Chains A and B, each alone.
Chain A
Amino acid sequence: MAELFTLPVLLGILYSGIRLATPYLFAAVGETFAQRSGVLNLGVEGIMLMGAFSGFFVGMKTGSPILGLLAAAVVGILMGLLMSFISITMQAEQGISGIGLHLFGLGLSSLLFKTTMGGVESIEGFKAVRIPLLADIPYIGEPLFNHNVLVYAAFLLVPISTWVLNKTTLGLKIRAVGQNPQAADTLGVNVTRVRYFCVCLGGMLAGIAGASLSIALINLFQENMTNGMGFIAVALVYFGGWRPWGVMGGALLFSFVNAFQLWIQVKGINIPSDFAIMMPYVLTILALAFATNRAQQPAALAKPYERGEN
């Protein structure tokens, strides 16, 4: 265990922790938008799987990871549209419609995978881009600034979305719609349109999150390859108090525990690997239990809005 506190090991964990945070960041920041507008999208996992598949498939067929990424984004938007229609227009109970979307994405991505590819193949995805100068900083330069472009994008998303949510008219509308849709409606904000936008944006980012796995981090597609990441992303939004910076904190904490867990497995330290894999999930439950910022929860979260209801 003392080995953990050597520089190369710590830097290794830093490097993989940052890498592993990427899919969580995309998905959870996207989900933050949906939830801030009052929609709980539990189908993130299903969207990620569809994004992972379409990104991989298009990337493989065209040889261009950028086209793959675009495909994943478009598929994510389409899945978001489906979720929006069921949850916003049809006012479905969101806890369940999300599970439906998850099952749909899980089934469809396996179906497409089996009928178009069948076996596991790998592709050359996005390559690491070393940022000059910054990557030359001693020790932390390499782990922080030698990643593929999606990793940087995921982290850039955090300040951008904070700015959008807090400093723009759009952000104000989003928050109003999630906090008090009646009042927002009275002031002429189109509640339905804002919510559709946020859920579709969330869908797009979830699709990209999936693609970040299949064409940037792991560079292959497997059935159910997200393995619960989408649900964890939803939990991270709660953990982060519905703020992008908080979400990033949660994602980093989570991915560092994961990186540490992987290190334990590689080292063959005397903890059964099953318990090591279990750690992040236990941590999530604990985090949910002790996160004290529940007061930040959008007041209209998961409540469908209907005009003239009151």
Chain B
Amino acid sequence: MADRAGMKRVLNKVFEALLPLLAVPVAFLIGAVMLLALGANPLEAYGAMIAGAFGDVSGLTQTLVKATPLLLVGLGVCIAFRGGVINIGGEGQIIVGALASTAVAVGFKEWPTLTLLPLCLLSGVLAGAIWGGVPGILKARLGVNEILSTVMMNAIAVQLSNYLLRGPMIDPKEIEAGTRIAQSALLPRSVWLTRLVPQTLLHAGAIIAVVLAVAVFIFLWRTTIGYRIRAVGLNRDAAKYAGIKVPFYQALSLILGGAFAGLAGSIEVMGVQHRMMENLASGYGFSGIVAALFGSLHPLGAIPASVLFGGLLVGADKMQRAVQVPSALIDTLLGLVVLFVVGSQVLSRQRARRRETRG
């Protein structure tokens, strides 16, 4: 009997974990209708997308390259959500992280790799943490809605980056050549992240991201601080009565969320672009939220989810070329996926409650 009850519990858990997965096929079904309306063959379009994203080494490595920042941002989103706060500021945190790493790398380019590389990563983490910390502290001290403040911080980061890349941080070569493209100087080779597969962009950052996903899992479920963060997220009042300093842990979750997104920016600069440029964040801040949600806000679930959405981003470009449908279609579908995932959560909540009342 005990075994059967246990089995049922496991089955229930599996069902609940799989429920959000339905969001993707449903969104793609709607996408198929839209493709038909645009006069494209959905099978051909999706075929081109999947083949482009996962079909060969080039596609697969591109997918993993895109999945890396998504996973890092997603981890930050997971921590924030588990602490009961919502971090929409990924975009800005990526930008300041990338700016900080670039400034350090270009400023101290003679330093040996062994000191410069960690310093670069650290400065990105720190910058992101500060960018997440401002909304965090405003939330803790003054009760400012963090969703709104993180959105504003995004806009501020964009302007800061525009200023720095056109002014103090612009590549001196751009001024010499008179082209004045808003981008920084090339980072010294000593801080370029190792390429994992020759002739591709896949870099060591992917490994860092996966290791960190495991670390976040351990942090949230096996440490006291992680436990408190989750307690605050699950039930603020209960946590407060248990003596947990709720504002502190909410601020902390936003700071940590910012740190991860900042690191995503550093790694994007050091692994892929090798210089800071406009549009470096390119929507990862928002797509990272989608990936985290789709991974059920679990750090380990975020790994496959990031790969999937990395694939979607790569595949969207391939689809655009194959059937001449703008890749904005995929952005639309991402929005639908979010709506369906959060819309379906009520079903698993209701199931859980029904189980409880049955005893």
Known contacts A231-B151, A274-B163; is A86 also within 8 Å of B339 by CB? yes
CB-based contact B144/A285 at 8 Å = yes
Minimum CB–CB distance from B346 to chain A (whole Å) comes to 5
CB-based contact A272/B338 at 8 Å = no
Pick out which of these stretches binds chain A: B11-19, B110-118, B325-333: B325-333
Pick out which of these stretches binds chain A: B120-128, B153-161, B235-243: B153-161
List 10 A-B pairs, minimum CB-CB distance, nearest first. Answer: A104-B335, A100-B338, A107-B331, A107-B332, A103-B335, A274-B163, A92-B342, A110-B328, A90-B343, A111-B328
CA distance A194 to B162 in the complex (A): 44
The residue that A278 contacts in the complex, of B138, B143, B155, B336, with Cβ under 8 A, is B155
CB-based contact B344/A238 at 8 Å = no
CA distance A114 to B333 in the complex (A): 16
CB-based contact A96/B332 at 8 Å = no
Minimum CB–CB distance from B166 to chain A (whole Å) comes to 8
- Which residues of B, 23-41, contact A by the 8 Å Cβ criterion? 34, 38
Q: Does B252 contact A (CB under 8 A)?
A: no
Further pairs besides A97-B338, A111-B332, A284-B148: 10, Cβ < 8 Å? A95-B86, A99-B289, A100-B337, A104-B339, A110-B331, A228-B155, A235-B145, A238-B148, A281-B156, A282-B152
- Which residues of A, 276-308, contact B by the 8 Å Cβ criterion? 277-278, 281-282, 284-285, 288-290, 294, 304
Closest residue of chain B to A279, judged by CB?
B159
CB-based contact B329/A111 at 8 Å = yes
The residue that A284 contacts in the complex, of B152, B328, B342, B345, with Cβ under 8 A, is B152
For the complex, would chain A's binding face be called helix, strand, loop or mixed by DSSP majority? Answer: helix
Interface size on B, residues (CB 8 A): 50
CB-based contact B335/A107 at 8 Å = yes
A100: which B residues are within 8 A, CB to CB?
A: 335-339, 341-342
The residue that B335 contacts in the complex, of A46, A91, A289, with Cβ under 8 A, is A46
16 A–B contacts from the bound complex (CB under 8 Å): A85-B343, A96-B293, A97-B342, A108-B332, A115-B326, A223-B328, A228-B151, A235-B145, A235-B148, A272-B167, A274-B166, A282-B156, A284-B152, A285-B134, A285-B144, A288-B149
Q: Does A121 contact B (CB under 8 A)?
A: no
Minimum CB–CB distance from B79 to chain A (whole Å) comes to 15
CB-based contact A105/B335 at 8 Å = yes
Closest residue of chain B to A42, judged by CB?
B147
A281: which B residues are within 8 A, CB to CB?
A: 152, 155-156, 159
CA distance A46 to B334 in the complex (A): 13
CB-based contact A294/B163 at 8 Å = no
CA distance A294 to B138 in the complex (A): 14
